[in-house]
Amino acid sequence: MRDIPASAIGGPVMKKKILICDDEIGVRESLKLILSDKYDLLFAEDGKKAIDEIERNPDLKGMLLDIKMPALNGLELLKHLKRHNKNMPIVVVTGYQSVETAAESLKIGAANYITKPFRSETVIETLEQAIS
């Protein structure tokens, strides 16, 4: 699912391209609300679709990734990307507030993590730090 391209929204400044991968439409819409002013957003509903988007968009600057998803979950996708040397910064967005999940995602190679329900400032700051 591709969002409106940055050029259509206007402005000469090229926005950084970010992929949001979450199976919940509500969460995708929320992240769109928070980030669409600053970033050119792409969306994927599951891990497999995220891989397709990553292949199609080599200029991706970062990714927000849910953990619990059908088809291919966030941790599996993270492992897959690291195996294939896709080294873009990935921020894990998780409903699991356990230290273990966060630690595991960081061990696999996530840049950082945020937990749901999140504050918009947290999302913006964490993503900015990760891709800067």
Contact status: 5 vs another protein (CB under 8 A): no
**From the CB of 36, what's the least distance to another protein, in Å?**
11
Query: Site size for another protein, by CB under 8 A?
Result: 22
Q: Is 103 exposed, middle or buried (0-12, 13-18, 19+ CB in 10 A)?
A: exposed
- In the three-class reduction of DSSP (H, G, I as helix; E, B as strand; rest coil), residue 96 is classed as coil
State the minimum distance, in angstroms, from the CB of residue 113 to another protein.
Answer: 14
In order, the DSSP letters of 14-76 are PPEEEEEE-S-HHHHHHHHHHHTTTEEEEEESSHHHHHHHHHH-TTEEEEEEESS-SSS-HHH
Q: How far is the CB of 79 from another protein (least distance, A)?
A: 17
Nearer to another protein among residue 49 and residue 86 (C-beta): 49
Q: Which is nearer to another protein, 14 or 33 (CB)?
A: 33
Residue 23 within binding range of another protein, rule CB under 8 A: yes
